[in-house]
Amino acid sequence: MAEKKQRKLVSVILNILTVVLLVVGLVLVFNKPIQKYLLHQKTNSYQVTKLDKKQVKANEKAQATFDFDQVEPISLEAIMKNQVSAKDLPVIGGIAIPSVKVNLPIFKGLANEVLLYGAGTTSEQQKMGEGNYGLASHRMFDDSLLFTPLDHVKVGDKIYLTDLSKIYVYQAINNQRVSPDRVDLLDVVPGKRLVTLVTCGEMSGETRRVIQGELKEIVDFDHGTKAMKEAFEMNSNH
């Protein structure tokens, strides 16, 4: 009788282990597709065109961190945790680069949760259309996600920023891979109004990919061209 119970217990344990291994295997197989789907959905839910000017202005006053050193790599665990979070993230604008199909919300600061879904500002004081407007975001395993498409930006490509009041039209003037210590590229350059976009040069993060653009035009959002407005309506990195 005792032997029969022991066999039954062993069978139950083996069944449980089989289920656990199956679940772990499925997670490993579908990890990247799940991440991609969740990132797309959440990113598009934060697009600046889903807000109004009043909300954007209010978000500009939100508390934020600007510490590069605390930024962590994206993981499925972090994404899942933020999926169920009711926390509102401070969207203060949008960035669109039509040539590489980038359309992302701009969040205030560099908190890990905001960098999951868009670009974060690198300084408390920066303003669109002035000085050197720095934005950072992650490189991902998929060439369509977040700032990964920056690899393909060419000199002359248009980079649009908006705060829903104005559209700031920049033109890319360089695309370079540099060492992580090149923080000088975020410095204000006298006589120039720049945007500087930063991501990792590769998944291991040994270098940085940096795109800089020079301001060419500022237009009222309501008077923006069809092409400008459509850029902010694209599904993120679709």
- Listed residue (155, 153, 190) closest to 174, CA to CA: 155
Catalytic residue among 40, 200, 223, 238: 200
3-state secondary structure of 166: strand
SS (H, E, C) 22-87: HHHHHHHHHHHHHHHHHHHHHHHHCCHHHCCHHHHHHHCCCCCCCCHHHCCCCCHHHHHHHHCCCC
Q: Is residue 200 annotated as part of the catalytic site, yes or no?
A: yes
Q: Interior CA angle at 59 toward 55 and 63, to 5°?
A: 160
Catalytic residue among 40, 138, 223, 238: 138
Residues marked active site are found at 138, 200
